[in-house]
């Protein structure tokens, strides 16, 4: 069976999803999970786009050892130089250069002739190969490009030193038949195509990203690109977990393998969903909460008699385990530490102690502590920034009654260490709470989105709040978890505000080290 390389772009293309705002620790946590998942290449970001992205890419490049780390660059020397500075310490530094090749892009966006585009592509690939051992070149909007022009530019870019050629369906326009033909034609007509890896990158605007990717594999693609949960700008990208499971289940039609560890799918999906704030739809293939649920009586009867009657994917294949009690209030630190390791986390003794204390506090209020609960505790602690001055919640109280005006009282510690208190009203409990927090925080704040969901099931399930806001005109997102919905809401609000301080702290620290 032929092996397919997996290129994950969750941290670059996926993070371009509207409202997604990951800090460096969150990006690193996702990168480490992608490494456990078994991706061959991870695109850590676009180093030239901002100082924060540069630092995030460099941090991941210095940490990840079992996967190639790459960064995106425009066909500009400055982008390539910045990317090298960010990636030079990687175990396997790689670069991803893109340049549009469709008539509409060349005419209206690049304002270049086809020959000028070829010249630029060749020059920039040659320049990148001076440092990078691996250079992927993407023909942006390849699916709407002239196919013979593609053959011409691909040949020249390969001669210039490209090691991977990517033919993206940038706007999600093509169909499986068309996309498969594109790969077959390139395979058959580019004289030096055997020198490179041929990659497929599909967007989901018409809902065909996974189908198009499978068609590309059938017709000669040796690398696939996508994101976890299919996140990405507009309608998103091809969902890697769907492709991986499709290759496994339909090996009769697709005799190809990947290096992905399928039992890590659920954990990877959950982590990306939690940290990005993008909920996975219940009917999402492979990882949706209804993927293995059967409501029809006929279906239930069939599954009870033989699961294969209606389940072509077993829950265990993708890491969905029974949500039984894992630890209780009498569990000791040693058992807790073993469970942390089992869940794949690498904590210092200090972090273990902090996590154990949070676990013990939860067991005082929650009868059954599940893997989902532990996952939430551990992720929050792992991605928390400790050495930054920020707003801290001391206490809060909300008074609500059907015939009373909701009133919230909040006490905070400011980044300057000052203790402040205030009370405000609102039309509801959450509005009263948020009005009070906004009154105490000396920043310009505008809330744009608020969502609440439960972790697990039952009346004592943890609540998880996700919000989006602008702080001093900077778009940020925040999340908070607690057993009480109002406490989770308060934590999410402060988490979003504090991200601005964390970002400023990181920039000041980096500037001081220059």
24-75 pLDDT, tens digit each: 889 999 999 999 999 999 999 999 999 989 999 999 999 999 999 999 999 9
Mean pLDDT of 167-175: 98
Q: Would the pLDDT of 311 be above 80? A: no
Q: Would the pLDDT of 513 be above 70? A: no
Q: Would the pLDDT of 189 be above 90? A: yes
Please report which confidence band the pLDDT of residue 108 belongs to, taking 50, 70 and 90 as the band edges: very high
Global confidence as pTM: 0.89
Provide the percentage of residues in the chain whose pLDDT is more than 70. Answer: 93
CA distance 271 to 263: 14
What is the per-residue pLDDT for 306? 63
Lowest mean pLDDT among 101-105, 167-171, 313-317: 313-317
Q: Would the pLDDT of 113 be above 80? A: yes
What is the per-residue pLDDT for 433? 98
Provide the percentage of residues in the chain whose pLDDT is more than 90. Answer: 71
Residue in the block written with tokens 């585009």: 117
Q: Would the pLDDT of 422 be above 60? A: yes
Q: Which fold has domain 2-276?
A: TIM Barrel (3.20.20)
- Who wins on pLDDT, 388 or 299? 388
Contact 397, 384 (CB under 8 A): no
430-467 pLDDT, tens digit each: 999 999 999 999 899 999 999 999 887 778 889 999 99
Residue length of the chain: 514
Q: Which fold has domain 392-513?
A: Double Stranded RNA Binding Domain (3.30.160)
Please report which confidence band the pLDDT of residue 294 belongs to, taking 50, 70 and 90 as the band edges: very low
Mean pLDDT of 190-198: 98
What is the per-residue pLDDT for 307? 65
Lowest mean pLDDT among 174-178, 272-276, 348-352, 495-499: 348-352
- Which residues, listed in sequence order, are joined to residue 451 by a DSSP beta bridge? 466
Mean pLDDT of 190-201: 98
Contact 165, 198 (CB under 8 A): yes
Mean of the per-residue pLDDT values of the chain: 91
What is the per-residue pLDDT for 326? 60
**Residue among 260, 278, 274, 368 at smallest CA distance from 319:** 260
What is the per-residue pLDDT for 299? 47
Triad 270, 275, 279: Cα angle to 5°: 55
Q: Would the pLDDT of 268 be above 90? A: yes
String of DSSP letters for 69-117: EEEEEESSHHHHHHHHHHHTTSSSEEEEEEEE-SHHIIIIII---HHHH
Q: Would the pLDDT of 298 be above 50? A: no
What is the per-residue pLDDT for 431? 97
Lowest mean pLDDT among 116-120, 269-273, 302-306: 302-306
What is the per-residue pLDDT for 21? 83
CA dist 39 → 7, 133, 225 (Å): 6, 19, 10
Q: Would the pLDDT of 111 be above 70? A: yes
Domain ranges in the chain? 2-276, 292-319, 333-382, 392-513
What is the per-residue pLDDT for 29? 94
What is the per-residue pLDDT for 115? 98
CA dist 185 → 180, 210, 375 (Å): 9, 20, 47
What is the per-residue pLDDT for 500? 86
Q: Would the pLDDT of 289 be above 90? A: no
The encoded tokens of residue 313 equal 């994917």
Mean pLDDT of 12-18: 92
SS3 percent helix, strand, coil of the chain, rounded to 5, is: 45, 20, 35
Q: Would the pLDDT of 403 be above 60? A: yes
What is the per-residue pLDDT for 351? 87
214-247 pLDDT, tens digit each: 999 999 999 999 999 999 999 999 999 999 999 9
| End-to-end alpha carbon distance in the chain | 49
Please report which confidence band the pLDDT of residue 9 belongs to, taking 50, 70 and 90 as the band edges: very high
Mean pLDDT of 326-335: 76
Q: Would the pLDDT of 509 be above 80? A: no
């Amino acid at each position: 069976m032929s092996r397919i390389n997996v290129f994950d772009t969750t941290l670059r293309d996926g993070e371009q999803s509207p409202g997604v705002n990951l800090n460096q620790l969150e990006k690193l946590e996702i990168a480490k999970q992608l490494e456990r998942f078994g991706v061959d290449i991870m695109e850590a970001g676009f180093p030239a786009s901002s100082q924060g992205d540069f630092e995030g890419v460099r941090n991941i490049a210095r940490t990840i050892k079992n996967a190639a780390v790459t960064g995106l660059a425009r066909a500009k020397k400055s982008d390539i130089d910045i990317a090298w500075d960010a990636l030079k310490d990687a175990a396997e530094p790689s670069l991803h250069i893109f340049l549009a090749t469709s008539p509409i892009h060349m005419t209206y966006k690049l304002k270049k002739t086809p020959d000028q585009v070829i010249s630029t592509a060749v020059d920039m690939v040659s320049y990148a190969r001076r440092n990078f051992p691996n250079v992927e070149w993407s023909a942006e909007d390849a699916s709407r490009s002239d196919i013979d022009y593609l053959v011409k530019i691909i040949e020249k870019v390969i001669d210039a030193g490209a090691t991977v050629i990517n033919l993206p369906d940038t706007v999600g326009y093509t169909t499986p038949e068309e996309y498969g033909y594109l790969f077959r034609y390139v395979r058959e007509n580019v004289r030096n195509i055997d020198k490179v890896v041929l990659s497929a990158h599909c967007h989901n605007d018409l809902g065909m990203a996974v189908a198009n990717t499978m068609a590309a594999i059938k017709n000669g693609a040796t690398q696939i690109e996508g994101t976890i949960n299919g996140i990405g700008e507009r309608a998103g990208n091809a969902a890697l977990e769907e492709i991986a499971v499709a290759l496994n289940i339909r090996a009769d039609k697709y005799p190809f393998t990947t290096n992905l560890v399928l039992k890590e799918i659920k954990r990877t999906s959950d982590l990306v969903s939690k940290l990005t704030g993008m909920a996975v739809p219940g009917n999402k293939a492979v990882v949706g909460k209804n993927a293995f649920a059967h409501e029809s009586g006929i279906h239930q009867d069939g599954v009870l008699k033989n699961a294969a009657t209606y389940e072509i994917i077993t829950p265990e294949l993708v890491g969905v385990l029974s949500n039984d009690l894992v630890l209780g209030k009498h569990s000791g630190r040693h058992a807790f530490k073993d469970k942390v390791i089992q869940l794949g986390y690498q904590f210092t003794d200090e972090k273990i102690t902090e996590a154990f204390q949070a676990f013990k506090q939860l067991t005082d209020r929650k009868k059954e502590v599940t893997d989902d609960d532990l996952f939430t505790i551990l992720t929050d602690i792992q991605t928390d920034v400790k050495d930054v001055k920020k707003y801290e919640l001391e206490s809060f109280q909300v008074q609500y009654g059907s015939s009373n005006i909701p009133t919230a009282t909040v006490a905070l510690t400011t980044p300057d260490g000052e203790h402040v208190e205030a009370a405000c009203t609102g039309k509801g409990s959450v509005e009263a709470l948020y009005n009070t927090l906004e009154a105490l925080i000396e920043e310009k704040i505008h809330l744009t989105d608020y969502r609440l969901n439960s972790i697990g099931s039952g009346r004592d399930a943890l609540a998880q709040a996700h919000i989006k806001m602008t702080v001093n005109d900077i778009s940020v997102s925040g999340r908070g978890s607690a057993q009480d919905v109002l406490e989770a809401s308060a934590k999410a609000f402060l988490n979003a505000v504090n991200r601005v301080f964390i970002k400023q702290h990181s920039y000041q620290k980096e500037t001081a080290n220059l």
